[in-house]
Structure 1
Amino acid sequence: MYQRRSPPGFGKPSASDSSVRKPRGKPAGKAVNKPLKRPAQARAKFTVQAIYDAFVRIWRDRGWAGVTTRAIALETGISVGTLYDYFPNKHALLSGYVRHTMDVLLEAIEQQVIQATGLTWRERVHRLVRLTCGIDVAELAYFDADMLALETQIAEPKHHRRVYEEMSAKWLSAFDACTDLPYRPEPDTVRALYLSIWGARRYYWLLVDPPDISAGKWAAEMEKLCCAVLEKK
């Protein structure tokens, strides 16, 4: 997901951006739609988080076309040069942000489902399904159908594989934490449950608020599906 190359092209800077410092490195070539580096130090993490927060505000207010170098810089107060140090173009910014949403989700499952104490298996499954469905979950990072529609421009098969491996591992750990389950489901069963919900989630985003089933109702039905499988021996 992170690659140190420096292709140009971030949004459409205005004429007042003539002093923009272009990314350092190799000569311009084919654009790389990935962040150039992952922040390691606390200050760098704060900077990148501020960029992501500004990206979401601009996205929700002005859409993809409104995401430009100048807009991000003005919104954050971060220099354009610093912005280019991390993101060579707007697709790289979107790629980094989507990865960020996954990191937030994985951490939420770890803390609220796997590490949580004093929960019955039903309560743990409720939290797991709720987070995985990602509908109206305030603690998760913002994501919408328009972002999903741009996925083919930033994602490669290896990225999908990585998400599958990380999420299925979290699901397996979540069920390991359910020590009061009626019986232990096979790993393949757990992976199948995860895929059924994750695939449905992606399609639900594409439908954009279907009138015949609310997000809450859909998530509740997914939870019923999981519980039915776990109770049937």
Structure 2
Amino acid sequence: MEKKGFGNTKAVPDEAPKPRSKPLKRPRQARAVFTVEAIYQAFVRIWQRDGWAAVTTRAVALEAGFAVGTLYEYFPSKQALFSGYVRHCIEQLLSRIDEQVIAPPLDWRTRLSRLLWLSCGPQESIYQLFSFEVAQLEIQVAEPRHHLRAYQELLGKWQQVFAACSDLPQPATAARVEALLLMVWGGRRYAALAQLDEARLRSWVVEMEQLLLAALADSARTIPSESNCD
């Protein structure tokens, strides 16, 4: 039987996007936040259990226990639901970095290790967004400006993390922080396209952790600039 869900290795069939592939509004009141969260949970359950083809706005509404009209107040299509869920996961990650990495009194090694595992660990909820299937679906809903926005938000959060590492052997420059972000997130996204299994992914994170910490421990060493590499 073919395994379905986020890890499905089959290419997602072409599906013409509906006129509106973005959420209509963001929940503001507590009740609305609860409703949208329940919709997202139902969306994920159907997707993981039955695959993307089984996801419909009606099926998600029934799974969540709401009228279809309630779902349509926020999501006019399943593409809009997918787009909203991706945004929701990114916001959750940024919030968890604030709470678990930036706020606590940690030494720099623990702080950066925690940042890496929160961002890339296969046990984290953000892992659901890194799969071959999701990469195919992104084409339907994501525009260059959406990728740029997410990148800028992640970069800003990483800069905050490094700013909190007051005990680093040497403060990391903005260029180094961005280079490390690209190294980590670029590798993570390519691992999804290569469809690495969880064991290989975990090994990659362990190796990346060692490389990251070693590079920063040795940050006092002068790195030749491009202009001096002639």
Deviation at 1:210, TM superposition (A): 4.9
Q: What letter corresponds to residue 191 of structure 1 in structure 2?
A: E
**Closer, same or farther: CA 141–78 of 1 in aligned 2, 3 Å:** farther
Change (3 A) 1:130 1:219: same
Aligned to 2:123: 136
1:128-173 deviation line (CA, Å, top 9, x unaligned): 11112142225x4733411222111110111111111110111111
Counterpart for residue 32 of structure 2: 44
Runs of 4+ residues deviating >4 angstroms = none
Q: Which has the higher contact order (CA 8 A, sep 6+)?
A: 2
Rounded Cα–Cα distance in structure 2 between residues aligned with 1:46 and 1:210: 33
State the partner residue of 1:79: 67
Q: 1:219 aligns with which of 195, 205, 208?
A: 205
TM-score (norm 2): 0.83
Residue 89 (1) aligns with residue 77 (2): yes
Aligned equivalent of 1:105, options 88, 93, 96: 93
TM-score (norm 1): 0.82
Structure 1, gaps ≥5 residues long = 1-29
User: 8 Å contact 1:55–1:67 — kept in the other structure?
Assistant: yes
Checking the alignment, whether the CA contact within 8 Å between 1:34 and 1:87 is kept in structure 2 is yes
1:156 and 2:143 correspond:
yes
Q: 1:221 to 1:108 in 2, by over 3 A?
A: same
1:206 paired with 2:193, answer yes
- Correspondences of 1:45-64 after superposition (within 5 Å): 45-64=33-52
Percent identity over the alignment is 51
1:27-38 matched pairs, under 5 angstroms: 31-38=19-26
Give deviations 1:173-213, integer Å, cap 9, x for gaps: 101111111010101100110111111111111122259x7
- 1:185 counterpart = 2:172: yes
Counterpart-to-counterpart distance in 2, 1:223 and 1:144:
19
For residues 185 and 131 of structure 1, the distance between their equivalents in structure 2, rounded to whole angstroms, comes to 20
**Contact conserved, 1:70 with 1:80, CA < 8 A, in 2?**
yes
Structure 2 counterpart of 1:228: 214
Q: Distance in 2 between matches of 1:131 and 1:195?
A: 16
Aligned residues: CA RMSD: 1.8
